[in-house]
Structures are given as C-alpha cells and as structure tokens.
A and B are shown apart, each in its own frame.
Chain A
Amino acid sequence: QITLKESGPTLVKPTQTLTLTCTFSGFSLSTSGVGVGWIRQPPGKALEWLALIYWDDDKRYSPSLKSRLTITKDTSKNQVVLTMTNMDPVDTATYYCAHDSTYNDAFDIWGQGTMVTVSS
C-alpha cells in the first residue's frame, strides 16, 4: 500500500524559505519509472503543479516558479524535499505530494496535504 505524508511549518514569514518534506512508504524512489511530485492549492482555488522528481534524479519544475524551487530526494529515507524561497502571502496554500508512475503518467496516490500560511 502506497502512502505519502507531507510535513513542514504551518506558518512562515514573507521572504523566508519554505522547506517541505514528503515521507512515503510502499514504493522506492530508486525503482525505474517512479516519481514524486508536489502540487499546491490556495484556499478556494485550483490545483497548481510545482515540481516533480524521478527515480533517475531527473527533475521538472513549473516554469513560473522554477527560480524559487528546488526538489531533492533521499532514497534511503524514502523522502522528497521541496524548498521554495522568498515566500509571499500569495503562496498560502495546501501543499500536496503525490506518487507518479511512468506507467500511467499521472499522480495516482496523493498525500493528505499540509496547509502553509505566509504571514508576518
């Protein structure tokens, strides 16, 4: 059974750097075809894809946020970390991590999400 869980601060100040961790079980990020992505959702708004990392360390980023994002993986810990610099109140959102497989090329299993508020 695949599960993912996001963790990180619930409140960050403007200009600070946000670090979120996705801890997963039920799969290995060293297995060919596997990836983990991050997607966020501001309150009452639509989903927005942020970043994706694959088993081979290939990384993809949202063009509009690429300069602020870094995604890394720690295969031994079954974790994926997303950092976002220069946080702004508009970055207030629920942040989800999700399992991706090149088999179905979709985010097939999602974490429960973690709400991050950006405020001074």
Chain B
Amino acid sequence: QSVLTQPPSASGTPGQRVTISCSGSSSNIGSNTVNWYQQLPGTAPKLLIYSNNQRPSGVPDRFSGSKSGTSASLAISGLQSEDEADYYCAAWDDSLNGPFWVFGGGTKLTVL
C-alpha cells in the first residue's frame, strides 16, 4: 500500500489531454513539493516534473504539473503513442519517522 494514491490506470487517444492524480496528506504533499517520473516499458524511471511544475531540460511542454493542498496532478496534452508508460508521483514525508521519500503506486497510461 503506497503512501501516495494514484489511479492504477488511465487512457486516452492520440491528441487528447489526460490527467493523472496523486493524493497524499499534510505530512507529504501538503507540506512538500511533488515530483513526477515516467517509466517506459523495460526502462529505468526518468524525471518528468520536479518542484510541482518544473520541467527538466528536454521534457516537452506537453507535460505539466500542478499541486493544490494535499493533491497533485500531472497533465499530458497532445497525447502521443510514445507517452504510453507508467507514471509515478513522489514527495518527501515529514511524519514522525521522517523525513523520507514516498512514492505513489503508479499509473499505467495507455494510448488507445
């Protein structure tokens, strides 16, 4: 059971806009920034979004992130077939035994 909650799956057709949610609590998302990682099949994860809404160099601006309260979202616009991957959110958790990193359970994105 992951500390951060993500929907297990999401889907969309090419060109569509899809969003993936990540729900946490006051000790993690509520008080820290959120990062998003993309994991293409059979590969290592790749940083997609950091500090809630910042894109590392080379990440297309089709990918965007946002945070409100204890939840965060990843939006992908102009969906492409190569976006089919697993997506994970992550944040520091400052609870009693913290700080420590927590990840979401991952969302498998299917491009129909």
Residues on A lying within 8 angstroms of B by beta carbon are 37, 39, 46-49, 52, 60-63, 66, 96, 104-113
Give the segment of B16-24, B67-75, B76-84, B100-108 that binds chain A.
B100-108
B100 neighbours in A (Cβ, 8 Å): 49, 60-63
- Sample of 25 A–B contacts (CB below 8 Å): A39-B45, A46-B2, A46-B103, A47-B37, A47-B88, A47-B103, A49-B90, A49-B100, A49-B101, A49-B102, A49-B103, A60-B100, A63-B98, A63-B100, A66-B97, A96-B45, A104-B47, A105-B51, A106-B35, A107-B35, A107-B47, A108-B47, A108-B50, A109-B47, A111-B44
**In whole Å, how far is A59's beta carbon from the nearest beta carbon of chain B?**
11
Interface of B is mostly: strand
Instruction: Flag if B105 contacts A106 (CB, 8 Å).
Output: no
Q: Which of B22-57 contact A (CB under 8 A)?
A: 33, 35, 37, 39, 44-47, 50-51, 54, 56
**In whole Å, how far is B2's beta carbon from the nearest beta carbon of chain A?**
6
B99 within 8 A of A: yes
Bound CA span A46–B86, Å: 9
Instruction: Flag if A110 contacts B51 (CB, 8 Å).
Output: no
Bound CA span A61–B93, Å: 12
Instruction: Flag if A110 contacts B45 (CB, 8 Å).
Output: yes
Name B44's closest neighbour in chain A (CB-CB).
Answer: A110
Instruction: Flag if A106 contacts B50 (CB, 8 Å).
Output: yes
Bound CA span A46–B101, Å: 14
Bound CA span A61–B90, Å: 15
Instruction: Flag if A46 contacts B47 (CB, 8 Å).
Output: no
Name B105's closest neighbour in chain A (CB-CB).
Answer: A46
Instruction: Flag if A104 contacts B51 (CB, 8 Å).
Output: yes
Instruction: Flag if B56 contacts A104 (CB, 8 Å).
Output: yes
